[in-house]
Structure 1
Amino acid sequence: MEASWETSVTDSINTIYLLFSAYLVFVMQLGFAMLCAGSVRAKNAMNIMLTNVVDAVVGSISYFLFGFAFAFGDGSNANPFIGTEFFALKDVPNSSYDYSYFLYQWAFAIAVAGITSGSIAERTQFSAYLVFSFFLTGFVYPVVAHWVWSSSGWLSPSSSSLLFSSGAIDFAGSGVVHLVGGIAGLWGSLIEGPRVGRFDAFGKPVPMRGHNATLVVLGTFLLWFGWFGFNPGSFDKILVAYPNTTNQGNWTGVGRTAVTTALAGSTAGIVTLFGRRLLVGHWDALDVCNGLLGGFVAITSGCSVVEPWAAIVCGFFSAWVLIGLNILALKLKFDDPLEAAQLHGGCGAWGLIFTGLFAKEEFVIQAFNSGETGVVRPYGLFLGGGWGLLGAQVVEVLVIVGWVSVTMGPLFYALHKLRILRISIDEEIAGLDISSHGGYAYTAHQDNTPRFYADYMRLQNQS
């Protein structure tokens, strides 16, 4: 009877912790909304907030009906996609976690579409958001999640047949979440092309600054707060039996993961601050916010398996990855209003490689083998762990880029050929709020309705 009671308490604590982490990750949707709203021009603020809400609500239905089964279902049910039987099939060791684990994974899934939405902001038809959000959340992302996070996934570090005797370590999703969203956004932005007026007749970039720095900073801090559920929360069970010890659990790993997350983001933020100061000649809070987020994206892969000092190294280089990719994007006339492809794609890829270089063997065994004694696993190349882990990390980068490219690229191209991807030039100039939604985010903007409407009608008549 006593053992049963102890098991019940352990399960209850694990479930509560997982649900609390899911709530923190869901708060990131508010962070995305504020960051996006502040980063676009005022005439598109209502539209971008609507798309953030749509990403969440459409993603919820898509992930429930299809995505969760693709990611974690075992395929033994005749109807594995819909209904409560579906939850009982999930690839989780203890079935009591099914509902809480679904909620946690759902919060991750809806974040992916939000990343992609930022890349195609200010010029995309609303119907296109509905289509790509449903497909990305219900199919494209879950397949990658299965590869890496399911115990039967061929890239999983918990698989019975480990790739290169290691498996790819992507603890909280630098690749599964961020690289997937970034590559999808890359294809969407490439196929749509840059916003009207982003580059002049000579190909030189024209600044299109977001209209509200306050919202950008608010969104950044909300995302930082949510990341403490995103990364430490990926220890989905904090009470687990460790051998030869009375210390039941991942408490140390949870605390260390939170510290590495904060250090990587902070380092990237300060490096971006001074790096951009050297390049453009002034301090810029918005650049620091993106640099900070780039550091969080990069550490998300190895947050649980690296030392705090290594997290500082991760953040330092992630800042330069972001700065370098932004410079390259301008040279190639690539227009991503929120730098999502560069930030989430570039820094996500760097985070996977970083883990292959700096993962510590003790922490790898702690995170994936519950601290078992006598276990030998590949770990970071720079720490003497050989090439196995790094090789698996490189494979993950390549297969994610390939998979998302062959699924989302054709989808965006089909939407483009059907003429339901990009809005017309006159609508873009007038703004999505006036042309598509009949409302404004700000009263002051609404007061200018006659002028904007007159401009819009003049453009309509000219066309």
Structure 2
Amino acid sequence: MTISLKKLLVLGGMAGLAGVTMAVPALAQEAEEAAETAVTLGVNPETAFVFNTFAFLVSGFLVMFMAAGFSMLESGLVRSKNTAAICLKNITLYSIAGIMYYLIGYDLMYTDVSGYIGSLSLLYNTSADELALLGGDEAALAAVVDNGYSVMSDWFFQMVFVATAASIVSGTVAERIKFWPFMIFVIILTGILYPIQGSWTWGGGWLTEMGFSDYAGSTIVHSVGGWAALVGAIILGPRRGKYNADGSINPMPGANLPLATLGTFILWLGWFGFNGGSVLALGSAAAAAEMAIVYVNTNLAAAAGVTAAVILCQIMFGKVDLSMGLNGAIAGLVSITAGPDLTNHFLALVIGAVGGAIVVFVVPLLDKLHIDDVVGAISVHLVAGVWGTLAVGIFGGGNIVVQFVGIIAIGGFMIVTSAIIWYILKLTMGLRVSEEDEESGLDRAELGMEAYPEFGYGSARS
């Protein structure tokens, strides 16, 4: 009997496409057929359920650790007078993302998706079958196991992805945006904007029907955050003193490059959960083999991104650059995220290297356009994310036209909606801190505390 790869990934009654099976009846039916196949082959459905749930949870906390990576990266790349503020933004946006995704986001993205949007119902809780099992009803075991994974393990894994999208915006608009208007934007981004566009693909919506492919979110996560960051940076304007009237640029180096390096390594580690967990199963040999392939490709792409960025810096500028190397690693990771299941590992090197090269060209281009991106997130997450999504059509067997349509559709949606929200916030609350507060630093102005109080307010803080 011939079994498809997708069915192998859901052996033992595993709905291998995570929460999507609840939104797409056809996939749920396929999961039931796979369960029957698993019984025939003697696979233990409860064992597969445990492994699938375990994979979601472990991958989820690896992705959650990326929040620490973003905090360290951004803290290292801002000036010392803004360090405490950027740390507060990162832990707060992660918290808001989790709350909003529980209140409304997950349902909008995965429940009863009708092509363009899911359910408007509030709250997403443990299934009745799991509650019954926890209450001692052994008869509920079969229904729980048939779902393929614990309901809330899938919610947890999906939630940490939306927090990543919000973190991307934080780094770009750092050092001059007010705390509360930014958090209101995060509420809307994580609760509404991200879930709506996510439903178009991962929720089984219209882009899925067209054949758009984005394995772990080069576009759905990273470009979404990048588009929101780009629009925000344009509307907010550059930091004062960054650009001169004659077009020249005043460097504003980060205060702690070892911290930024640590943050990059943390992100690299977390990305194994980001991409590896997106196999969405670990209950079969096929799923385990695919996860190993994804891990290897993820690591190779990041390494190629670093190497390409460092070599290009030497060729173009006559010197190597640490911040470019760090962003090269992340760009390589973003680039491979749309198609990390490539069985030709050499292609992962190619995709990652192109991502690293993109950073070296796009970062100075944005400066020439006077678009002030403090940490380089637009180059890394937006442009490299677009490249990675197109690479699926070039190397991964996807349709390049469909991939392009998905990029344009999601990009257009994010540009329009983000612009509306940023402008409303600008007109009502104001986005920027005052010139005096920007000069003294957001730590002192908005928090009344400093990350490095022993340095005082002298020249070392500017």
Scaled by the length of structure 1, what TM-score is found?
A: 0.83
Structure 2 residue 261 is the aligned partner of structure 1 residue 217: yes
Structure 2 SS opposite 1:148: coil
Shift of 1:444: 2.0
Q: Distance in 2 between matches of 1:86 and 1:433?
A: 44
Shift of 1:87: 8.9
* 1:168-247 to 2 correspondences below 5 Å: 168-240=212-284
Structure 2 residue 171 is the aligned partner of structure 1 residue 118: yes
1:40-87 per-residue CA deviation (whole Å, 9 max, x = no partner) reads 000000000000011111111111111101111127999732253789
Shift of 1:415: 1.2
Report the equivalent of 2:318: 281
Identify if the C-alpha distance between structure 1 residues 88 and 204 changes in structure 2 by more than 3 Å, giving closer, same or farther: farther
Report the equivalent of 1:108: 161
Shift of 1:322: 1.6
Identify if the C-alpha distance between structure 1 residues 301 and 75 changes in structure 2 by more than 3 Å, giving closer, same or farther: closer
Structure 2 SS opposite 1:67: helix
Identify if the C-alpha distance between structure 1 residues 192 and 274 changes in structure 2 by more than 3 Å, giving closer, same or farther: same
Identify if the C-alpha distance between structure 1 residues 306 and 358 changes in structure 2 by more than 3 Å, giving closer, same or farther: farther
Report the equivalent of 1:426: 436
Q: Is the Cα–Cα contact under 8 Å of residues 87 and 99 in structure 1 kept in the other structure?
A: no
Shift of 1:10: 1.0
Report the equivalent of 1:53: 91
1:182-238 per-residue CA deviation (whole Å, 9 max, x = no partner) reads 000000000011000101231211101100011100000000000000001101112
Please, which runs of 5 or more residues in structure 2 have no aligned partner?
1-37, 131-144
Q: Distance in 2 between matches of 1:273 and 1:394?
A: 29
Q: Is the Cα–Cα contact under 8 Å of residues 181 and 429 in structure 2 kept in the other structure?
A: no
Q: Is the Cα–Cα contact under 8 Å of residues 62 and 137 in structure 1 kept in the other structure?
A: yes
Q: Is the Cα–Cα contact under 8 Å of residues 231 and 303 in structure 1 kept in the other structure?
A: yes
Report the equivalent of 1:384: none
Identify if the C-alpha distance between structure 1 residues 255 and 87 changes in structure 2 by more than 3 Å, giving closer, same or farther: farther
Structure 2 residue 123 is the aligned partner of structure 1 residue 82: yes
Choose which of 406, 413, 419 in structure 1 pairs with 2:423. 413
Please, which runs of 5 or more residues in structure 1 have no aligned partner?
157-161, 241-247, 360-378, 381-388, 457-463
Report the equivalent of 1:245: none
Shift of 1:429: 0.7
Q: Which moved more, 1:322-331 or 1:102-111?
A: 322-331
Choose which of 368, 386, 400 in structure 2 pairs with 1:390. 400
The count of residues paired between Structure 1 and Structure 2 equals 405
Report the equivalent of 1:40: 78
Structure 1 SS opposite 2:150: helix
Identify if the C-alpha distance between structure 1 residues 420 and 306 changes in structure 2 by more than 3 Å, giving closer, same or farther: farther
Q: Distance in 2 between matches of 1:87 and 1:391?
A: 42
Report the equivalent of 2:27: none
RMSD: 2.4
Report runs of 4+ in structure 1 exceeding 4 Å deviation.
Answer: 2-5, 75-79, 85-89
Q: Distance in 2 between matches of 1:263 and 1:139?
A: 34
Identify if the C-alpha distance between structure 1 residues 289 and 78 changes in structure 2 by more than 3 Å, giving closer, same or farther: closer
Q: Which moved more, 1:323-332 or 1:218-227?
A: 323-332
Q: Distance in 2 between matches of 1:17 and 1:315?
A: 25
Report the equivalent of 1:13: 51
Choose which of 400, 415, 426 in structure 1 pairs with 2:410. 400
1:305-363 per-residue CA deviation (whole Å, 9 max, x = no partner) reads 3521111110121122222211211111110001111110000000000110001xxxx
Structure 2 residue 259 is the aligned partner of structure 1 residue 259: no
Report the equivalent of 2:103: 65
Structure 2 residue 165 is the aligned partner of structure 1 residue 155: no
Q: Distance in 2 between matches of 1:65 and 1:427?
A: 35
Q: Is the Cα–Cα contact under 8 Å of residues 305 and 331 in structure 2 kept in the other structure?
A: yes
Report the equivalent of 1:133: 186
Report the equivalent of 2:10: none
1:366-417 per-residue CA deviation (whole Å, 9 max, x = no partner) reads xxxxxxxxxxxxx25xxxxxxxx11111011101110101111111111112
1:90-145 per-residue CA deviation (whole Å, 9 max, x = no partner) reads xx982643100000000101111000111100000001121011100011111121
Identify if the C-alpha distance between structure 1 residues 9 and 86 changes in structure 2 by more than 3 Å, giving closer, same or farther: closer
